[in-house]
């Protein structure tokens, strides 16, 4: 079976085509602005404009025609309302025109589910991106969020810090590079509440310290990463202890960070659990993960009628 997936919860439009075993195509376009941040209306316009060319590109890359697709999947949320509506409308149009079944997939779950294409069975997922920070896993036949950020996403926190330092957007890779040169740990607020996290305090204090001019930026970047990542590892470890699961996966754009990977790997080795990070194009927002999750849902007998995909939109 072949599924086509459309991702468009935020500033990336992604179209992916997958079979049960592999990714046949995974193409993207991300709307970026100098300052970072996303305007929902602009993201929606971006997705509407690029849907057709990206769809063509994906079909060409997969060497198939749209008639060969068995199920159409789309990112149903969470995300920006106007962007979600464009994607859902496009998926419905394709489903009607080509008479295909349609499935709405949860964006956060899709980030974790795609790891199953690589043999991962039943993981605890740490999903870290610009807007989202969650620890989630299947329990009792449903995905549960064990912990999440109570304010901003870790990627957003890093990007804002980088912007204050005048480093531009996206800040993640630049902060990572700076942090490698940092030597001295500077105390920053560490906030884990139960299994939830908070990053706004770290951000405010790091910016305040930077503005005093008394600290080296390398040391601040290093301390920012060490503090925020330690909190992410702690919450992930708690979820592993709570669920008794034997696999951890790291997904989302911030999964590119080598220090975060290293810290999680150490925790997993200590606990004797497996650790896996998918290739970057399947970590960031992408259509292949939506296609794959849609395919698994469809095969499990989950069916959506067209009405349902419209009604659900009203509540976002
Ligand atoms: O999942 P993603 O592509 O989509 C959004 O949620 O926007 O993630 C993008 C995020 C940005 O915040 C970016 O700064 C961050 O991933 N990122 C990184 C690194 N590479 C990208 N954060 C830390 N270290 C990196 N090497």
**Tens digits of per-residue pLDDT, 260-270?**
999 999 999 99
Work out which ligand 1 atom sits closest to the CA atom of 169: 14
Segment holding 75, helix H or strand E: strand 71-77
161 and 195 in one domain? yes
Tell me the percentage of the chain whose pLDDT exceeds 90.
92
pLDDT at 13: 98
- The last residue of one of the domains, among 244, 275, 303, is 244
Residue 257 labelled as part of a binding site: yes
Give tens-digit pLDDT for 71-102.
999 999 999 999 999 999 999 999 999 999 99
Mutate to test the pocket of ligand 1, among 9, 133, 172 (most ligand atoms within 8 A of CB): 172
150 and 60 in one domain? no
Going across the sheet that includes 71-77, the strands are 23-30, 12-18, 3-7, 71-77, 102-106
223 and 168 in one domain? yes
Residue length, the chain?
316
Q: Backbone dihedral region of 252: left (phi > 0), alpha (psi from -120 to 50 degrees) or beta?
A: left
155 CA to middle of ligand 1, Å?
5
138 and 186 in one domain? yes
Give tens-digit pLDDT for 285-304.
999 999 999 999 999 999 88
- Asked whether residue 160 carries a pLDDT value surpassing 80, the answer given is yes
Q: How far apart are CA 283 and CA 262, in angstroms?
A: 16
User: Does 258 reside within a domain?
Assistant: no
Tokens linked to 43:
């993201």
59 and 150 in one domain? no
217 and 129 in one domain? yes
- Cα 182 from chain centroid? 28
142 and 99 in one domain? no
Segment holding 142, helix H or strand E: strand 142-148
User: Does 152 reside within a domain?
Assistant: yes
165 and 109 in one domain? no
Segment holding 159, helix H or strand E: helix 154-164
211 CA to middle of ligand 1, Å?
25
User: Does 78 reside within a domain?
Assistant: yes
- The last residue of one of the domains, among 221, 244, 267, is 244
Total domains in the chain come to 2
Residue with token string 């970026």: 32
For the chain, what is the total number of helices (H) and then of strands (E)? Answer: 11, 12
Residues at CB less than 6 angstroms from ligand 1: 10, 129-131, 155, 158-159, 170-173, 176, 252-254, 256-257, 284-285
136 and 80 in one domain? no
User: Does 148 reside within a domain?
Assistant: yes
Q: The domain containing residue 218 runs over which residues?
A: 124-244
pLDDT range class, residue 311, cuts 50, 70, 90: low
Give tens-digit pLDDT for 185-225.
999 999 999 999 999 999 999 999 999 999 999 999 999 99
Q: Hey, whose CA ends up nearest to atom 8 of ligand 1?
A: 253
Q: Can you tell me the ipTM of this complex?
A: 0.97
Contact present, 277 and 283 (Cβ < 8 Å) = yes
* CATH code of residue 201: 3.30.420.40
User: Does 45 reside within a domain?
Assistant: yes
pLDDT at 264: 98
3-state secondary structure of 218: helix
169 CA to middle of ligand 1, Å?
10
108 and 129 in one domain? no
User: Does 270 reside within a domain?
Assistant: no
Paired with 192 in beta bridges are 197
pLDDT at 315: 44
218 and 164 in one domain? yes
pLDDT range class, residue 312, cuts 50, 70, 90: low
pLDDT at 189: 97
3-state secondary structure of 235: helix
290 and 212 in one domain? no
Residue 194 labelled as part of a binding site: no
User: Does 273 reside within a domain?
Assistant: no
Give tens-digit pLDDT for 241-252.
999 999 999 999
User: Does 233 reside within a domain?
Assistant: yes
Residue range 264-278: mean pLDDT, rounded: 98
Q: Hey, whose CA ends up nearest to atom 1 of ligand 1?
A: 253
**Mean pLDDT score across all residues of the chain:** 95
Which pTM value belongs to this model? 0.95
Give tens-digit pLDDT for 115-154.
999 999 999 999 999 999 999 999 999 999 999 999 999 9
């Amino acid at each position: 079976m072949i599924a086509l997936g459309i991702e468009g919860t935020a500033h990336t439009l992604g179209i992916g085509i997958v079979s049960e075993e592999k990714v046949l195509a995974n193409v993207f376009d991300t709307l970026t602005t100098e300052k970072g941040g996303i305007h929902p209306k602009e993201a929606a316009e971006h997705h509407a404009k690029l849907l057709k060319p990206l769809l063509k590109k994906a079909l060409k890359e997969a060497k198939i025609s749209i008639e060969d697709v068995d199920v159409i999947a789309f990112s149903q949320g969470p995300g920006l309302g106007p962007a979600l509506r464009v994607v859902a409308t496009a998926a419905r149009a394709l489903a009607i025109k080509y008479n295909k079944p349609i499935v709405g997939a949860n964006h956060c779950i899709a980030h974790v589910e795609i790891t199953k294409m690589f043999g991962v069975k039943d993981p605890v997922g740490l999903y870290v991106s610009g807007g989202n920070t969650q620890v989630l896993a299947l329990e009792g036949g449903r995905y549960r969020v064990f912990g999440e950020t109570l304010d901003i996403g870790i990627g957003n926190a890093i990007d804002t810090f980088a912007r204050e330092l005048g480093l531009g957007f996206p800040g993640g890779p630049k902060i990572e590079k700076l942090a490698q040169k940092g030597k001295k740990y500077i105390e920053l607020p560490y906030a884990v509440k139960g299994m939830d996290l908070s990053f706004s305090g770290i951000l405010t204090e790091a910016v305040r310290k930077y503005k005093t001019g008394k600290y080296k930026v390398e040391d601040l970047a290093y301390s920012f990463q060490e503090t925020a990542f330690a909190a992410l590892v702690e919450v992930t470890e708690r979820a592993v202890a709570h669920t008794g699961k034997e696999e951890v996966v790291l997904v989302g754009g911030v999964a590119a960070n080598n220090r975060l990977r290293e810290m999680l790997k150490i925790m997993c080795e200590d606990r004797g659990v497996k650790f896996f990070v998918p290739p970057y194009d399947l970590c960031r927002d992408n259509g292949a993960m939506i296609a794959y999750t849609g395919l698994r849902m469809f095969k499990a007998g989950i069916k959506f009628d067209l009405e349902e995909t419209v009604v659900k939109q009203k509540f976002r």
